[in-house]
Amino acid sequence: MAIDFSDRHVIVTGGTGALGIAVVGELLAGGATCHIPYYVEEEEKKFLHRDHPRVKLIAGGNLASQAAVTRIYDGVPKLWASIHLAGGYSASPVADTSETDLVTMLRTNLVTCFLCCSAAVRAMRRAGRDGGRIVNVAARPALEPRLGAGAAAYAISKAGVATLTEALAAEVANDGILVNAVAPSIIDTPANRSAMPKANYTLWPKAEEVASVICGLASPENRVTSGAVVPLYGRA
């Protein structure tokens, strides 16, 4: 049975990606109205749920811009949940990673998440209803840093997301806003299969499985879990 999100407005960043399609699908099944910022027009054109009446696509979604993020969140009435899937991956040894490479990873993963969290808290406080939910996406190397060998900039950026999640959860507890994150290992998506054609995909968590946990944390039924960074490793 789908979780009841009836009359709830939810922002999903990265909603047009493989994991986003699964998350948005589950939210729509529960009755949510999904607001989805996008930056790449090709992704919007191919988005599986683009014609659904409760999907609101928002162009110009540069989530590394505070002005753009503020515009997005100011346009959503009575925000209930904000789910932050947007991010990226890059791998190189520390000795070969430039300052630009490091800053790019921090902006792509940590800055975007921070700005969206900040705007979400303000929007939820304005909504004046029963708090709200924020769900971030860290990664396994955020919890197991040695797995970040060869991709330290990425691991650092995702560790920042995990720290942000725990700190913010304590900060907004009295507002009734519950803040959590998931930390997946490699998710079974077409892009990841293409990048690692010799891998054993059966060990990877499926996008639908990760989406189910995310939607559970974002739901009104979650009344007690906050400040968690939930490992989602499958059998990897």
Rounded CA gap, 49 and 33, in Å? 12
Nearest to 231 by CA among 170, 164, 158: 158
Q: Which of 75, 38, 45 is nearest to 60 (CA)?
A: 38
Query: What does the block give as tokens for 138?
Result: 């860290």
What confidence score (pLDDT) does residue 122 get?
A: 98
Q: Which amino acid is at 74?
A: D
In angstroms, the Cα distances linking 130 to 9, 108, 127, 163 are 13, 31, 9, 25
Contact 8, 220 (CB under 8 A): yes
Radius of gyration from C-alpha coordinates of the chain: 17
Phi then psi for 21, rounded to 5 degrees?
-60, -40
Which pLDDT score is estimated for 236?
80
| Alpha-carbon span 178 to 204, nearest angstrom | 28
* Domains of the chain and CATH, by start: 9-232 (3.40.50.720)
Distances in whole angstroms, Cα of residue 65 to Cα of each of 44, 49, 69, 145? 20, 26, 6, 28
pLDDT tens-place values along the chain, 236 residues long: 579 999 999 999 999 999 999 999 999 999 999 999 998 888 888 999 999 999 999 998 899 999 999 999 999 999 999 999 999 999 999 999 999 999 999 999 999 999 999 999 999 999 977 799 999 999 999 999 999 999 999 999 999 999 999 999 999 999 999 999 999 999 999 989 998 998 999 999 999 999 999 999 999 999 999 999 999 998 88
pLDDT for position 1:
57
Q: Are 168 and 119 in contact (CB under 8 A)?
A: no
Residue 42's φ and ψ, nearest 5 degrees, are -60, -35
Ramachandran category for residue 96: left, alpha or beta (phi over 0 → left; psi -120 to 50 → alpha) = alpha
pLDDT at position 113: 98
Cβ 49 vs Cβ 71: under 8 Å: no
Token pair belonging to 16: 């047009």
Indicate the residue type of 78: K
